[in-house]
Structure 1
């Protein structure tokens, strides 16, 4: 059984209190089932009025003789405890059997039965109940279901069900039985039901306590493995009707009936018509029933349905504006106490999928613009989520990170989270705890949001975020985690000399240790050399470029700290410019390529940086792009698709940056360039200068 021991009692009590508050504050309108039926189209029956015909004694006796064997055999079968033996029906329909043996179609031999049924209806004969019972019993035999449908007998009983005349419960009961039996695994008969729009008349009998236990299975039989029926049943608001009846206690605690009911709710919730036509209160009914449920299968159906509704913006907004998000959180927490068979792979996988779906739904809900308005940082829900960051259950941690991360949409909110709530301290502790990839990914995503606010970057670094993410640069099993960890390194060092110093700090303070000559940036560059992921390579390049943009101008101004950092950057990190080359060779983002050329130009303005640039130019692809850019051979039309197409301004900017890059390289390289390479670059600069002069003269 799944355990919820990792959830603190205080957290559980807080969520429960929030849930009770939510229920009290809910302002949903819950229309009655009668009101729902009044809004749906009226059904009609093609049967004649009951009592419109008067039968003579001779006619009555004739019909009686024709069906007497049916009744007698049905009664004798009932007395022997074998009320559903098809042989009794076959024995009573001797002519039909004889015709069948001669190759005559059963549907034709049942025509006389249909005629008698119509007369019994028209004469208001009580004998019709017995005839209906016999036909319902016989319809259990698969071989008779097709003929019953084709002969019109199925439609007759569907019309009985649809009739607004005085139809007794017993006749309706056996009529429903016949429909349910005849539609089991028989698509031709199901189509008859759909074409006549008979599902709604059957659903209307859900309100009858004497018929609900048969009407629900009938609808289930019509829908089972038959997609065309799903939409019609959903359009009749079946999900809401069943949920309301369950909540009101109309559908009693009958195991089989509950199974059918929850399956139908889930089936209807898979259809757009079913969701679009449902009242807003449907999601409240789903959550309350889920919180009360103890059976895994029923809980699963309810949660699958709930998450289908919460996939729609209308219900997301309804959930938030009616203070119902706490309820959905409680459903997630409930999933850890619902009993499952741990030996069943299906149930173990099922509960995991349920938790994933709830988390996805809560992520969508918290992304709503209304969410921040209804649930500010000082709300009980936000406090609950904060406590979940360090919960023992991974899906609770993921939920907290995603939802709070969605709140962190402005610098002001992010700063409050870090400065006042100290959320970042708990997040960093999770990174250091050896959590699984899915948790790490959600924590990193949240931290990246927090790092966007400039004032937060130093606080994050002071909490140890750089050493924490550096461990994840070796997390090869989940490349997304590696990417996010690399991305945070860039985010926290943007425009921050203090954090750049931390990134360039030695891995060991012991001067005799080999790690003293290595920095956290060294680990990031090692990841660059190992990974095959272009996004990761590019992100590492952007980190190096960001460091250059921040430190180089300050070093030129004489800032001693900046000079020291620049010296560390180049002397301790051989190949530091290679990731910048990856920015240039990628083709997806033209603006990133421009960042790369600018960064190389900054590097080339430093004597030590020139060595790194020359190392980068050993990459033939980078060297070729440099030549083509300077020669004017790279244009906006070279892009493979519109999304990666630079504009002409971008192309011109790149050419200017490359021109500066080559000039700085020639000025500062101090023998780092081979003679042949230097001559080539000098020639490119001269040709480019002449081209530019010619353009200006023109």
Structure 2
């Protein structure tokens, strides 16, 4: 039986009167009010209960001083409990949400109470009528309150919201709340949650939303996507034809929306080697596109990508288009990286040169671009194309040697390292290319002279030890040439080429530096071999002796390395005998071919070292 209208009127008037006063000292009055409110609810008199709860929600929304009394009197608990039992079509539910939302705003004590019923608040999202209010409540609950964010992540609020977004069921008035909640919740996911099936579903929904392009929330969608993509274990999950195609479409769309100045900043951000002059931009759009391109590039380096995609895949064809009309654009960097990661077999690399002719475009980029990020990506792709021996002559005949010389003149150490590594591959087992290096000129000097000059020139430090070191790779280039020219029964012009090589001043210095450095053990072995090969003729021995005279520690380095110290025999296992024999060969060749180049003191040192090493022979 419903109370008479007079009782209802008096009840509502008493609430209004109470709420117009000061919140202080009103605990008893609020408890009395709550008992009457609960009575109306119990007897099913919905209208006065709804009006009363609305008055409470409005009061605490306008005057935060009511927040603590509402908690202590039980009003907040009442509102929370009603969400667990109310039908979401019940008008009282919306007013309870208002009481909760206004009570928890900037009040951590009230939030601690409310998060116990977080699942009931989230359940209100199923109601179209309650969705906007529920999102506002969730926003107030999580704003600057990490426990609520973590709890929301545990209940996968991100997946719930992304599903409603994809279905276009978030009211426009609530979009800002939804995006903030998505950002918070995603950032609070555990490493396990980030890689589960719900995360992949959420990612797919958000990628779809980003492609629809909402100018007010575009950057937020991309930021959340990038958060997922920066997890190396999540990356293989999106290496599917549909998702990767959509990601590339998003990248191209994002790039097209940036200004030329912003795209320049993205290219700077993608640069591997950053200097003080190339400060990273703090513009959100620039940072996001930089991260998106880096993430897509990383995906293309996964095993899953290699298993799923080929050069003829739709998404690969989409990035290939960037190389048909190459420009200094961020997406061209991504195209080079992705295609380079597909260039992992001789067959594919040969097709890329002989059929697709990627090398022509790459040489154009390498010869004309001034952007380190693009140069590094294009050079890395081109280096993969040098792996098949069948490609090497074609690449040199297209002008790659001169292009590499151009790159060696640049300041970026990562680009110089890639150029040096390409040169090493190009001359390996290829007499035609060795001849070109020795005799062909780059402006006023031969390419070989340029290689020697650049090998001993100062170089900036590499950002990563995993990158190609220009000094090491150029030294290896000379060793590869000496190794081929030292073969028996080789081409008839070998002697002439070797003699011309040995005319270059300081040609032994890069090889000696391979042996002297202590970081790359394999390179030390190659340096020892190279010096031994060079010393097989009087002209070559003279170069080696010149280095020994200039570097008083070179003989000691040979001794230590051959004895197994400083990265030598003991550290290399099966290479022990090889290094020892190469040291003996070098010392014997110096004695045989030195002529008058060695004075008696140096000769005694060489003979003494050979005798000392001979004692190690068992």
Partner Cα separation in structure 2 for residue 347 and residue 245 of structure 1: 34
Give the match for residue 178 of structure 2.
Answer: 261
CA distance in 1, matches of 2:312, 2:73: 69
The DSSP-based 3-state class of the residue aligned with 2:486 is helix
Q: What are the residue-to-residue correspondences of 1:118-517 with 2, within 5 Å?
A: 118-126=38-46, 127-140=48-61, 141-163=63-85, 165-166=86-87, 169-194=90-115, 196=116, 198-254=117-173, 257-270=174-187, 271-272=189-190, 273=193, 276-278=196-198, 280-295=200-215, 297-311=216-230, 316=235, 319-321=238-240, 323-338=242-257, 349-389=283-323, 390-392=325-327, 394-476=329-411, 478-507=412-441, 516-517=444-445
The alpha-carbon deviation at position 315 of structure 1 amounts to 5.9
Q: What is the deviation of 1:439?
A: 0.6
SS state at 1:391 partner: coil
- 8 Å contact kept, 1:237–1:274: no
Inter-partner Cα distance in structure 1 for 2:290 and 2:470: 27
TM-score normalised by length of structure 1: 0.77
Q: Deviations over 1:46-98 (max 9, x none)?
A: xxxxxxxx89989x95x97676333358xxxxxxxxxxxxxxx351x5xx53x
> How far 1:202 moved relative to its partner?
1.6
Return the structure number with greater relative CO, CA threshold 8 A, min gap 6. Answer: 1
Give, in angstroms, the shift of residue 120 of structure 1: 4.3
SS class of match (1:571): coil
Q: 1:329 to 1:403 in 2, by over 3 A?
A: same
Residue 269 of structure 2 corresponds to none
CA contact (8 A) 1:486 1:524 kept: no
Name the counterpart of 1:545: 479
Q: Secondary structure at the match of 1:308?
A: helix
Counterparts of 2:435 and 2:351 in 1: how far apart (Å)? 26
User: Match of 1:616?
Assistant: 547
Match in the other structure for 2:270: none
Separation (CA, whole Å) in 2 of partners of 1:650 and 1:558: 26
Runs of 4+ in 1 over 6 A off after TM superposition: 54-58, 106-109, 339-343, 345-348
Deviation at 1:602, TM superposition (A): 0.8
Q: How does 1:5-84 map to 2 (within 5 A)?
A: 68-71=13-16
What is the CA distance between 1:246 and its match in structure 2? 2.1
Query: Is residue 2:612 matched to residue 1:680?
Result: no
Cα contact 1:486–1:540 (8 A) shared by 2: yes
Cα separation, partners in 2 of 1:68 and 1:486, compared to 1, 3 Å: same
Report the Cα distance in structure 1 between the residues aligned to 2:518 and 2:455, rounded to whole angstroms.
Answer: 21
Q: What's the secondary structure of 2:441's corresponding residue? A: coil
Distance 1:568 1:337, change over 3 A: same
TM-score (normalised: structure 2): 0.86
- CA distance in 2: counterparts of 1:653 and 1:639, whole angstroms: 14
Shifted more, 149-158 versus 115-124: the winner is: 115-124
Q: Are the counterparts in 2 of residues 470 and 524 from structure 1 also a CA contact under 8 Å? A: no
Residue by residue, what CA displacement relative to the aligned partner does 1:505-561 show, whole Å, maximum 9, x if unpaired?
A: 3435xxxxxx5444354255335322254833222221221121122225xx47442
Q: Which residue of 2 aligns with 1:14?
A: none
CA drift of 1:201 comes to 1.8
Q: Which residue of 2 aligns with 1:598?
A: 529
Gaps of 5+ in 1: 1-53, 74-88, 100-105, 509-514
Question: Alpha carbons of 1:482 and 1:210: their partners in 2 closer, same or farther (altered >3 Å)?
Answer: same
On the 8 A contact 2:255/2:331 being kept in 1, the answer is no
Deviation at 1:455, TM superposition (A): 1.3
The 1:251/1:690 distance shift into structure 2, 3 A limit, reads closer
Which deviates the most, 310-319 or 662-671?
310-319
1:286 Cα offset (Å): 2.2
Structure 1 match to 2:518: 587
Quick one: distance in 1 between partners of 2:327 and 2:120? Answer: 50
RMSD between superposed Cα atoms in Å? 3.3
Partner residue of 2:275?
A: none
Provide the C-alpha distance between the structure 2 equivalents of 1:342 and 1:432, rounded to a whole number of angstroms: 23
Report the Cα offset of residue 214 of structure 1. 1.2
Separation of aligned partners in 1, 2:80 and 2:315:
51
C-alpha distance 484-355 of structure 1, shift in aligned 2 (>3 A): same
Q: Distance in 1 between matches of 2:239 and 2:75?
A: 51
Structure 2, unmatched stretches of 5+, are 266-279, 463-468
Over 3 Å counting, the alpha-carbon distance change for 1:558 and 1:588 in structure 2 is closer
